[in-house]
Amino acid sequence: MSEPVKVLVTGAAGQIAYSLLYSIAKGDVFGEKQPISLVLLDIEPMMAVLDGVVMELQDCALPLLADVIPTADEAVAFKDIDVALLVGAQPRRQGMERKDLLKANVKIFKSQGAALDAHAKKTVKVVVVGNPANTNALVIAQFAPSIPKENFSCLTRLDQNRAQAQVATKLGISNENVQRTIIWGNHSSTQFPDLAHAVVHVNGKLMPAQEAIKDDNWVKDEFIKTVQTRGGAVIQARKLSSAMSAAKAICDHVRDWWFGTGERWVSMGIISKGDYGIKEGLMYSFPVQIGTDRVVQVVPGLTISNFAREKMDATQAELIEEKDCAFSFLEA
Ligand code: NAX
């Protein structure tokens, strides 16, 4: 058996982690032969709850789980890790303004950035899930200057999966028959779920999704709105935010980064190098392909319509505003 992959999950006592930890520990992400060492970080008041999570992981008697390290200490949590899944964040409380939320999270991700910089392997792959995910990811990257910028990402795979599932349902086909749905921009209600390049297999024939759907209004209006507001709809129904689907999306994101995507396209937030006119240095969701060398590359050469341009710019504008606001707290 090979050396364990050391995976940190923050927010480990929370609801996403409750689904995520089991999936990772049983081999859904790194494969069925790869031992895993799990590090679980949460805040001090959650340590008793975290003990319960550790007991349950033990009780699963999973063959791949080499060890479990629960902690509230960032120096312990980030030590020699290969993968950081940053799920924990300050939640938005009633009456809290967006800038207060940003301020609280800047503090968390600044501190975790310093710990990452000091203690993690330089090859560490970082996925930020805790909201506002794109901006939190930029903050942590800023405070971990010794880690290459290409190693930072944020999760928009849940949005991609939601988009894919909407198309599959609309056409009455299985999810695997829908490919190349794209999420551009922020993991927020300004994101742009784009079907212009999506393809579907219908009755054994590969065709553009929009041609198969034959309903421009649905594509440009209902589909986009449904995906943009899906998180809110789940909260409305469940009185809790998405957890099972979020955990599944994190597994998809990391598995594809670890093993490569082959010919598939996936969406993930990465630091922009200026592709498609998106401002350099923003954490923006792009369609990407990933090689077996774990290098992430933006899918090149897509035609961008005026409709798409407007939506891509609107979500970019929100990200610039969030970034400026977050970085103003850092300077203060
Ligand atoms: P929970 O409130 O169930 O769990 C969050 C956990 O994080 C808690 O146990 C809390 O104590 C812990 N935490 C807070 N500050 C911490 C810190 N400084 N260090 C370590 N742990 C800390 O939330 P959950 O439903 O699990 O959601 C977690 C985050 O994911 C939220 O920010 C949520 O908004 C975000 N989401 C992001 C998604 C995405 O696609 N990017 C989708 C799902 C989810 O909404």
Catalytic site positions: 187
264 is in an annotated binding site: no
Kindly tell me the sign of the dihedral angle through the C-alpha atoms of 173, 175, 176, 182. Answer: positive
149 with 189, same domain? no
- 331 lies in some domain: no
164 with 270, same domain? yes
CB atoms within 10 A of CB 77: 25
Domain end residue (candidates: 123, 154, 185): 154
16 with 80, same domain? yes
17 with 74, same domain? yes
74 with 150, same domain? yes
The pLDDT of residue 74 is 98
Q: Which of 188, 241, 253, 254 to mutate to test the pocket of ligand 1 (most atoms within 8 A of CB)?
A: 241
66 with 185, same domain? no
Instruction: Name which of 331, 282, 284, 318 is nearest 106 in CA terms.
Output: 331
Asked if the bond preceding 132 is cis, omega within 30° of 0, the reply is yes
31-80: pLDDT as tens digits: 999 999 999 999 999 999 999 999 999 999 999 999 999 999 999 999 99
> Which secondary structure element, helix H or strand E, spans residue 74, and what is its range?
helix 74-77
Helices marked H in 205-260: 209-213, 216-217, 223-228, 230-238, 244-259
23 with 138, same domain? yes
255 is in an annotated binding site: no
180 with 322, same domain? yes
The pLDDT of residue 152 is 98
179-228: pLDDT as tens digits: 999 999 999 999 999 999 999 999 999 999 999 999 999 999 999 999 99
Distance CA 236, CA 38 (A): 32
What is the ipTM for the molecules in this complex? 0.99
Pocket of ligand 1 (CB under 6 A): 10-11, 13-17, 41-43, 46, 87-91, 108, 129-131, 133, 155, 158, 187, 231, 241-243, 246
242-257: pLDDT as tens digits: 999 999 999 999 999 9
Q: What angle do CA 89, 240, 270 make, to 5 degrees?
A: 40
87 is in an annotated binding site: no
Distance CA 114, CA 270 (A): 20
Burial class from Cβ neighbours inside 10 Å (0-12, 13-18, 19+) for residue 61 reads exposed
74-128: pLDDT as tens digits: 999 999 999 999 999 988 777 778 788 899 999 999 999 999 999 999 999 999 9
144 with 167, same domain? no
Give the residue numbers spanning the domain of 278.
156-326
Please tell me the total count of domains within the chain.
2
11 with 147, same domain? yes
CATH number at residue 79: 3.40.50.720
In the block, residue with structure tokens 């960032």: 74
Measure 180 CA to ligand 1 centroid, in angstroms: 28
250 with 318, same domain? yes
106 with 176, same domain? no
Question: Could you tell me the two tokens for 75?
Answer: 């120096």
Residue 261 CB-half CA count within 13 A: 21
130 is in an annotated binding site: yes
Task: Say if CB 195 and CB 223 are below 8 A apart.
Answer: yes
Q: Of all atoms in ligand 1, which is nearest to the CA of residue 158?
A: 40
Distance CA 20, CA 203 (A): 35
Question: Could you tell me the two tokens for 312?
Answer: 């891509």
Measure 11 CA to ligand 1 centroid, in angstroms: 5
The pLDDT of residue 216 is 95
Measure 293 CA to ligand 1 centroid, in angstroms: 30
Measure 309 CA to ligand 1 centroid, in angstroms: 32
- 332 lies in some domain: no
